[in-house]
A = this chain, B = another copy of it.
Amino acid sequence: MQTKTTIEVRYPDCDMMQVVHHSIYPVWYESARMDFFRKMGFSFSDMNKLSVNPAVVDLHLQFKAPATYPQTLTVVTKIGTFAPRKLQLVYEIFNESGKIINTAETFHIWVGPDGRAYNIEENLPDVYEKIKKAAG
């Protein structure tokens, strides 16, 4: 499973160099990640009800080409690796010409209702099945 999320560059996303500032990309990757989870069948509302969330522990971005305003971008998201307590997502951002301009990996630890690391396989087996299936 891989999802495509559309991103519209906004005017203030660009800096004095006339390109999107590097600090905006983590926000886009989070939007793409939320979209991925929703399409996988475990939405933010579901997480919220269960007080479970995939906390970001590692964020790694590669800048290959700039984004500008106005522009419509596409973030392609898929699962990298997963384990009962961990999840890695990998991403690619394409511009309107189909060129890859940015890639990233985010690593997450599942955090449960008590604020501690959470075993998804044990506690939410149906969600773990969805992750397994999405990872292919």
Contact = CB atoms under 8 A, between A and B. Distances in A.
A105 B41 CA distance: 35
Contacts of A31: 8, 10-11
Interface stretch (A57-65, A79-87, A120-128): A57-65
A43 to B, nearest CB: 8
30 contacts: A10-B27, A10-B30, A10-B31, A11-B15, A11-B16, A11-B21, A11-B30, A11-B44, A12-B21, A12-B27, A12-B30, A14-B16, A15-B16, A16-B69, A17-B53, A22-B30, A22-B59, A23-B23, A23-B27, A44-B69, A44-B70, A45-B70, A55-B63, A56-B63, A57-B62, A57-B63, A58-B60, A58-B61, A60-B60, A60-B61
A113 interface: no
A72 interface: no
A3 to B, nearest CB: 15
